[in-house]
Structure 1
Amino acid sequence: MMSELLPRHLESELEHALRSAKVVNIVGPRQVGKTTLVRDLLKKGNFITLDDENVLAALEADPKGQLDALIGEMPSGPLIIDEAQRSKKLALAIKRTVDENRNMGQFVLTGSSNIFTSSQVADSLAGRVQTMTMFPLSMAETRRMGPARILDWASAEDGPDPAALPKPEAKSRADYIEMILAGGFPEIRNLDAPQRRRRYRNYIDSVVERDVADVLKIRKSDTMRRLIDQLAARVGNELNVESLNNQFNGVQRKTIETYMDILTKLSLLQRLAAWTSGETGRDIKHPKVHLVDTGIASALRSMNSQSFNIDANPTALGGLFENYVHNELAKSLPFQKQEWRLYHWRYDKGREIDIIAEADRTIVGFEMKTSTLVEEDDFRHLRWFRDNGPGKTWNAIGIVVYMGDRLLSFGKNMFALPLSAFWSFPA
């Protein structure tokens, strides 16, 4: 029922984009809720899906004629085309249509990959297409709360004020672990654990068999599937392509790099670039690996709540926790007042910061701790970065995200935030 649909933060961005762009292009992995957003939450326009083979065949046979006919049938716009990446001729037909019409909000497209990637189409449509990425549900969306404006709070003109941060929800370590394992895919996250893991593994199989083929015809689908497993085991870690390639006998490194590019285009893989200070030879520049959802990563590694008992390997949870926080931050970026970019940082002397958010000479550094307690020593890299390292010429704020339930201050611009702070802001 409509009342049961979870609100999506991207809905307000979509409404704004329809007033300022001729074409709105929503890309993101399959089953994250793109169709629900444009068909059920938007509540306007004419909806077609290219999953319908008859519609796809007609569009491929006469793309411009079909678009003109569909637009002519509509009482009002936009024309919504779901699974747009399945058509090879749609992009040019849309270009011809919007060249003839000055109205905003003519088309809304959804797909697992961006159809406006060729230089010919992209250049000619510059300024007329707004592309946005839709991710799995954020925890704030599942709680019907507002976007996590933690970066706005941290970069306030007078500095971050603990009293200005909404009170975080009290959660146990076990609660947090279950959230990480469940992930954010709307139709999968609430299943019981064994079925959920099975569905996530089946989901990856279907992506390899279908969505990957929309981007590039690959000859070794088994290699792609094994690559995703290897990446799941490396989330939160720096990417060493040579070491990764050594896991695949007889497969060229170029093939592995091409496959990772495909996974990036499908929004399944995110490579977090290294932040550099400009001090030659001091910064380590390998990117980090994050998957789009920790539910997928944990299912591919056959992890459950018992995998993180007190006697378990702590590094396994650390990588997933870091991946989870990265994803929650990435989902919040469109809703901050400033344009933020995310990085990680590692120094040649062993110092590192898990995530760095940068905007307008401000840096917010995030370190992760999979514990319910935080100590002064947990801030050593953040303090050194701010006081003696490359952050000393920046406005630098340090945050340790942990599995407790209270906001704690550790001196000027140094804070411990519970993970639940990411869903504490009102809608």
Structure 2
Amino acid sequence: MTDIDGYLPRHLTSELREALASARVVNLVGPRQVGKTTLVRDLFEEGRFLTLDDAAVLAAMDADPEGQLLSLAEDQNTSPIIIDEAQRSRKLALAIKKIVDNNRRKGQFVLTGSSNVFTTAEVADSLAGRMRTLKLWPLSVVEINRAPLSRLIDWAMQDAPSLAQIAEPAPLGRRDYIDLILAGGFPETRMLPLRSRQRQYRDYVDAVVDRDVADIMPIRKPDALRFLIDQMAARTAQEINTSELAKLAKLKRETVDQYLDILLRLSMVTKLSAWMPGEGKRDIKQPKFHFVDTGIATALRRLNDKSFEIGNSPEALGGLLESFVAGELLRALPMQDDDYRLYHWRSADRREIDVLIDGGHRLVGLEVKSSATVSADDFKHLRWFAKDGPGRGRRVSGIVLYLGQEKLTFGDGNFALPLSTLWTPIKLG
């Protein structure tokens, strides 16, 4: 893939190539305007591309989906058929299933969309082993910097992580991190001046509610959904009590659960389940929700660089910074050496860990601190979890990411690292 005209290469490219070589259907989903179409058109230059955003193409596809696809396939040889905004056709999934059941060739279809076209359990189950689904998120800072993939999770999962393996992190200050949070990760929007950018982000949310939601499920109260989105932006990095939200939005709890599911499927928010050990009951059942893009979250909340100063709302930085970190980890997750899962953890007596990364053989607890200093007291929950809590008997590492400049060790596998370590080169053995 070439880097021209300011295009930022995406780290998911290698996963996309691998998926195309191993599955008959590749399903690339993610928020609108994050670059899905640009990615697949650049990667598969010889593929046949069509978009269901075109009303005539959509009408033809709905009239005879199998016939249209078979006709396209005759001209393609080994190149994929690329269908953009695939979720707009209700009949596409079953037609593709029928075609790939009769033809075992890999890489026949690449689908992109803001939500998953294979929404029914029957279709999804029947395509098991035939389809790979990948998610393209907004840009990570590593991608923005055109830097190598972040390996922080793989580093922390080692038996003996060493600070010497980490290059010197970029010497960023509090204002630099705030600028990154405000900018967000949408390729075109993030480059605009603050006022124009935030207006565009708010227009983006309106477009999602007006257009993309209907592709998943018709809703009776779009204004209530828009209100819920604003509330989720204000509550990013918090455990969500849907009963309280329902009262606030004057909706039934079942409706709030339904709306949250829509936002998850549209990749506007993401959910970290509460971690539980292999045996026993989980301490806290409520999941923690993160707004996927902090640029959108701050635009909805009308926050700017002055908002975090003393006298305004400096405490607002904590949740946004935690969501920013969770987003960076989530974007790097598919390209790590092993498969890891992200959780949060909190005990009944309110000990908590912001992000708990489960590698099966090892756990990594990660705390996010919105100040430039760090002390031993910042590791108290990480140490208790590893020595006396549910991590006892397992190998556990602890990391506090903070806004300072120094890489520090606090013993027993605990480290304090500058937050910019998330996009710092790391050499692994």
TM-score for the superposition, normalised by structure 1: 0.96
Match of 1:169 in 2: 170
Rate the CA distance shift 1:351–1:87 in 2: closer, same or farther, 3 A: same
Match of 1:274 in 2: 274
Q: CA deviation at 1:348?
A: 1.5
Rate the CA distance shift 1:380–1:21 in 2: closer, same or farther, 3 A: same
Match of 2:182 in 1: 181
Match of 2:133 in 1: 131
C-alpha contact 1:27 1:113 (8 A) present in aligned 2 = yes
Report the Cα distance in structure 2 between the residues aligned to 1:426 and 1:47, rounded to whole angstroms.
38
Task: Indicate yes or no: 2:317 matched with 1:332.
Answer: no
1:372-419, CA deviations, whole angstroms, 9 ceiling, x for partnerless residues?
111111111111111221112111000001112221111131111111
1:105-124, CA deviations, whole angstroms, 9 ceiling, x for partnerless residues?
00100011111121221122
Question: Any stretches of 5+ residues in structure 2 without a counterpart?
Answer: none
Match of 2:244 in 1: 243
Farther-moved stretch of structure 1 (82-91 vs 302-311):
302-311
Report the Cα distance in structure 2 between the residues aligned to 1:146 and 1:199, rounded to whole angstroms.
30
C-alpha contact 2:152 2:426 (8 A) present in aligned 1 = no
Rate the CA distance shift 1:41–1:167 in 2: closer, same or farther, 3 A: farther
- Equivalences for 1:57-76 in 2 at 5 Å? 57-74=59-76, 76=78
C-alpha contact 1:282 1:348 (8 A) present in aligned 2 = no
Report the Cα distance in structure 2 between the residues aligned to 1:417 and 1:51, rounded to whole angstroms.
45
Rate the CA distance shift 1:426–1:377 in 2: closer, same or farther, 3 A: closer
Report the Cα distance in structure 2 between the residues aligned to 1:52 and 1:380, rounded to whole angstroms.
56
2:29 to 27, 30, 38: 27
1:15 to 14, 17, 20: 17
CA RMSD of aligned residues (A): 1.6
Code of the aligned partner of 1:153: W
Q: CA deviation at 1:42?
A: 3.6
Q: SS at the partner of 1:384?
A: helix
Task: Indicate yes or no: 2:411 matched with 1:411.
Answer: yes
Farther-moved stretch of structure 1 (184-193 vs 271-280):
271-280
Q: CA deviation at 1:74?
A: 2.6
Q: Aligned pairs, how many?
A: 425
Report the Cα distance in structure 1 between the residues aligned to 2:401 and 2:108, rounded to whole angstroms.
42
Match of 1:213 in 2: 214
Match of 2:94 in 1: 92
Match of 2:205 in 1: 204
Q: SS at the partner of 1:77?
A: coil
C-alpha contact 2:52 2:89 (8 A) present in aligned 1 = yes
Code of the aligned partner of 1:336: Q
Rate the CA distance shift 1:70–1:256 in 2: closer, same or farther, 3 A: same
Q: CA deviation at 1:292?
A: 1.1
1:104-151, CA deviations, whole angstroms, 9 ceiling, x for partnerless residues?
000100011111121221122110000011100000000011221111
Q: CA deviation at 1:100?
A: 1.8
Report the Cα distance in structure 1 between the residues aligned to 2:242 and 2:216, rounded to whole angstroms.
22
Code of the aligned partner of 2:200: R
- Equivalences for 1:276-291 in 2 at 5 Å? 276-277=276-277, 283-291=283-291
Question: Any stretches of 5+ residues in structure 1 without a counterpart?
Answer: none
What is the percent sequence identity of the aligned residues? 54
Report the Cα distance in structure 1 between the residues aligned to 2:115 and 2:408, rounded to whole angstroms.
41
Match of 1:301 in 2: 301
Q: CA deviation at 1:426?
A: 7.4
Q: CA deviation at 1:335?
A: 1.1
